[in-house]
Amino acid sequence: MKPTLVFLIVSLCLMAIFPQTIEAKPLVAARNAVLLNQSNGEVLYAKSANDPQLIASITKIMTAILAIESGKMEETVTISHQASYTEGSSIYLQEGEKIKLKDLVYGLMLRSGNDAATAIAEFVGGSVEGFAFLMNEKAAWLGMTDSHFDNPHGLDSDTHYSTAYDMATLTRHAMNNDEFVAITGAKSYHSEQRTYAWGNKNKLLTSYYPYTIGGKTGYTKAAGRTLVSIAEKEGVMLIAVTLNDPNDWQDHIRLFDWGFKQYDHASTVANEKKVVKQNQKENSLISTVITFFNKLIGVI
């Protein structure tokens, strides 16, 4: 029998024993999207992932990690007039109020406080402009080549933008910091300066998807809904980013479910290959033993 025919028969037999199903990539409503493996940076899914867009409040991931890496989280910040009157979402800081930088970062990430973002920028960078300089330095260091930051909160600006891939790169870096992991994964936080706790706006984390361990929401009229989320299942951690996505909660769930299946499938295939290899070794050993005994019988 020809070797190619033998190979074909064996392949068909293996396919019958170990059928493999290939699932189509998920469809998402986002203008831009990416799904990234935290451990090695592998891109599992991309949709216009390198196109610069407005990003709204997912900007605050950069603000948070710079604040954490400043080493000043336990220091006290005095709230300025500018910070207390920052437009948009707020944790209702009052001019002259004194509050720890750590509390501001929790308010930034859980409640998306623009006032907290401005206060952080002024404290860590000396001013909003000085902090924007630090943001761009950090982006360059991380290789975020299609990003530029003008402010710490993400309010719309023609020169404030990023990409789905760059934001996944930033998040991957941030998730290597234990304090960031704790903050982004907190469902609520109670500052000593408040009589009530702040609840996290990230519904994937609080109720929609049990494998979610963090992320950041965002929205402006011009940017649309933006979302970064991180999920972990059976030792695999994935980062999903969508920009301008009217169906972001469901799209992230769809991306994560699909992504985790890819690793489940890869693990199954690897185990099947191990079984086949082991069987081949056993069959080879049996064949060797039979040959030996045949020769022995022939000698006798």
Q: Which residues are annotated as a binding site for substrate?
A: 216
Catalytic residue flag (residue 60): yes
Instruction: Dihedral sign for Cα 39, 45, 48, 53, please.
Output: negative
Q: How far is CA 207 from the centre of its chain?
A: 18
CA dist list (Å): 17 to 112, 226, 262, 272: 52, 44, 20, 10
CA dist list (Å): 189 to 84, 100, 101, 121, 240: 20, 13, 14, 21, 24
Among residues 57, 80, 89, 229, which one is catalytic? 57
Catalytic residue flag (residue 112): yes
Among 266, 276, 268, 177, smallest CA distance to 230 is for: 177
Instruction: Dihedral sign for Cα 45, 48, 53, 54, please.
Output: negative
- Alpha helix stretches (DSSP H) within 70-213: 81-84, 101-111, 114-125, 128-142, 164-174, 178-184, 203
Sequence length of the chain is 300
Among residues 80, 89, 102, 112, which one is catalytic? 112
Please work out, in degrees rounded to the nearest 5, the angle formed at the alpha carbon of residue 199 by the alpha carbons of 166 and 157: 35
185 token code pair: 């994964």
Query: Could you give the CA distance from residue 17 to residue 11 in angstroms, rounded to a whole number?
Result: 10
Catalytic residue flag (residue 84): no
Query: Could you give the CA distance from residue 212 to residue 249 in angstroms, rounded to a whole number?
Result: 11
CA dist list (Å): 48 to 9, 39, 102, 198: 42, 22, 35, 35
Q: Are 275 and 283 in contact (CB under 8 A)?
A: no
Residues with Cβ within 8 Å of residue 143, at least 6 apart in sequence:
169
Active site residues: 57, 60, 112
